[in-house]
Structure 1
Amino acid sequence: MTTDETLSSGSFNLILYAARQRGADSSALCRAVGVDSAVLQNPDGRVSIQAVQALWKEVIQMTGESDLPLQLGELINPLSLGVLSYVMMHCPTLGKAIEKLCHYQDIACEGVQTVGRLVGDRFHLSLTLTSKAIIYPDYTLGSELSMYQSAFRALTGLPVVAEEIRYAFPAPENQLAYERVFAPARLVFDASETVLILDAAWLDTPILNANPSLYALFDQHAGELLRQLRTTAEVPAALSVRVKQEIFTLLKGEEPALAAVAEGLAMGVRTLQLHLKEEGFTYQQLLDEVRHDLAVRHLREPNFSTTDIAYLLGFSEPSVFYRTFKKWTGSTPGAYRTAALRLTA
């Protein structure tokens, strides 16, 4: 166990949103736990687990509702966890979505390990705390399972219910709140592990409106985010590399602005431009490199439409993407794809 794990800014914002629904002042909460609002404006920003634990304490004190973590799945959109949600929304079945949830768990929260396993005709989704910074396991595990339950229902459009939920902490004073949120599941406290148990038949349930092409795009995007999150290079990366990584994380339907990238790197725009010049680059060059590399990668996959690729790369219109790609390569996206697929056939 370590104490340097983080939570995504998106997940932190969901807690703030739930707190606001119960009358709390989100700005006061951020000040109380020492979190800069600028970090929360970055979709791929990270907040320490320590700050999240402090936030739960402040939220409950401010609202007077000890069961607020359990209400999280009811108060917010359970499919608003950024790229992780996008991947799950386009999986073919609930079982595949849960598999991806387990694989990409760290993108949302590094302090909890989520693992699924079949036990006979039952599916066990177990949650294990991996961070010493988590001092309120009931808040953490209760909110996670509340979110999971709501997400499974939203993904399938069906009342997915657990048969049993075991918690690896003593029975809380607000046990009735657990019974209300997770009914009709049988609840067990002081268990050896925290685990949600489903009838395995639920795993074959189709996901509503899943798009295989978008699934592949978002899965690839999530994989890159996870790789970056787990990269712990001893030697600091060159600024140009860090800028390209920041551009990659911000490519979500619109062109990343230089100011947004500078903010994500905690630098001023002018300072960033000067340091890039020292390395022999301009921001536009790096943006073009990232877009070019991703475009080439996506065009080699036959199931990706060029419209989807244009959107993912932040182009305002597919026609702009076509013109830009031809400028880069001398070929249209369609012609490039045809040639690339012919070579791999």
Structure 2
Amino acid sequence: MGQITSLFARKVAHAAGDAIDTKAVLASVGLDADGPADPTHMLDEDDYYSMIEMMAQQMDITPLPVIVGKAMRPDEYGALGLAWKAAPNLLGSFSRVERYWRLWTSVARYELRNTDEGYLFIEHRDGARRLGMRISIEADLVSGVSLGRQVSPRPFAPLAVYFRHSAPKTPEHHEAYFGCQVHFGADMDAMLMSHDAVSAPNLLGDEGITQFLVSHLDQELARIDDTPALQTRTKSEIARALSEGLPKMAQIARALGMSARSFHRRLAEQGLSFQTLTEETRREIATAMLREERYALSEIAFLTGYSEQSAFNRAFKRWMGVTPATYRKSLK
């Protein structure tokens, strides 16, 4: 199951304006409508698609991808957006997306392919073509054109746009914005750009800034490649929460950027359960702290989420077959 930046969810919800209940829509994916936008905060892709489908029950969603895509700004993408603007030309800008797409999504993969007709910017996305996915893909390609128009010194329009899914009831919105023919039911999700259009120097192209930003993005990418597995991340969040009491699944899910439903499903897909991971985390913390004489048993009980030491003693004996005091003596 992939993830996508919460920035997109906020953009989609706010673009709808008064046509939807923005607070309720964003709350459905664990976001505060009045809170700050954080592109690094990720959402489960199914939650994101469900949010869009929830909006479709409240409004005509057909023109929404165009509205959302038009509203995207390079600066909202952090270092990646700056690298987009500082690239020498649009070919460089789209090349940054091809390389660094994992910084804002694990849902899609982007490819820049040179052909005789021009450059194809292709979005690869697996899964059933549910409404939420279709709207998301359309908004992505509109965003690409919008961002291109913001940094190019000349009017920018693709030669053609392609979507694998069927046409919406009124495709005129898409064709008017793209300024070219839009092909639905195609064999790819992509836009074709002329060699000339992507070769013109960007307004703010700067090779020195580009090298600095690319170096930074490479470091960010390496960090993502080393992201710990779901089990490790879950236990880490549980450990952080235990001093305030036994955490609930919804609390840990929010910390990981997921809804409780999606979190439960992803754990189940890996043969894990929240209860088991919580017990393992408590046991591991307890056994580690018992090796340190400076921690009293009452402190260990508190830091592993037990309000009473007697409850901690019973749990520890269930885990290890002996009481905490006996276990500590055996370590000497």
Structure 2 equivalent of residue 219 of structure 1: 214
Name the TM-score, length of structure 2 as normaliser.
Answer: 0.64
Structure 1 residues 83-102: Cα deviation after superposition (integer angstroms, max 9, x where no partner): 22111111111111110111
Which amino acid letter does the alignment assign opposite residue 197 of structure 1?
L
Matches within 5 A, 1:178-197: 178-183=174-179, 185-197=180-192
For residue 123 of structure 1, the aligned residue among 116, 119, 122 is 119
Name the TM-score, length of structure 1 as normaliser.
Answer: 0.62
Structure 1 equivalent of residue 137 of structure 2: 141
Structure 2 equivalent of residue 35 of structure 1: 30
Structure 2 equivalent of residue 16 of structure 1: 13
Structure 2 equivalent of residue 177 of structure 1: 173
Structure 1 equivalent of residue 53 of structure 2: 57
Counterpart of 1:15 in 2: which secondary structure?
helix
CA RMSD of aligned residues (A): 3.3
Which amino acid letter does the alignment assign opposite residue 192 of structure 2?
I
Deviates further, 200-209 or 79-88: 79-88
Structure 1: segments with no counterpart, 5+ residues: 244-262, 267-274, 279-345
Counterpart of 2:197 in 1: which secondary structure?
helix
Query: What's the offset of the Cα at 1:132?
Result: 5.4
Counterpart of 1:160 in 2: which secondary structure?
coil
Percent identical = 14
Structure 2 equivalent of residue 228 of structure 1: 223
Aligned pair count? Answer: 243
Aligned equivalents of 1:126, 1:41: Cα separation in 2? 27
Does residue 158 (structure 1) correspond to residue 154 (structure 2)? The answer is yes
Q: 1:103 to 1:227 in 2, by over 3 A?
A: same
Structure 2 equivalent of residue 5 of structure 1: 2
Q: 1:228 to 1:130 in 2, by over 3 A?
A: farther
Counterpart of 1:54 in 2: which secondary structure?
helix
Structure 1 equivalent of residue 260 of structure 2: none
Query: What's the offset of the Cα at 1:16?
Result: 2.6
Aligned equivalents of 2:64, 2:49: Cα separation in 1? 13
Q: 1:91 to 1:75 in 2, by over 3 A?
A: closer
Matches within 5 A, 1:194-209: 194-209=189-204
Matches within 5 A, 1:81-96: 81-96=77-92
Structure 1 residues 256-276: Cα deviation after superposition (integer angstroms, max 9, x where no partner): xxxxxxx9789xxxxxxxx9x
Aligned equivalents of 2:134, 2:256: Cα separation in 1? 34
Which structure has the larger Rg?
Answer: 2
Counterpart of 1:136 in 2: which secondary structure?
helix
Say if 1:10 and 1:82, in contact at 8 Å, map to a contact too: no
Does residue 112 (structure 1) correspond to residue 132 (structure 2)? The answer is no
Aligned equivalents of 2:145, 2:115: Cα separation in 1? 19
Aligned equivalents of 1:41, 1:120: Cα separation in 2? 41
Query: What's the offset of the Cα at 1:196?
Result: 0.6
Say if 1:78 and 1:147, in contact at 8 Å, map to a contact too: no
Aligned equivalents of 1:157, 1:116: Cα separation in 2? 21
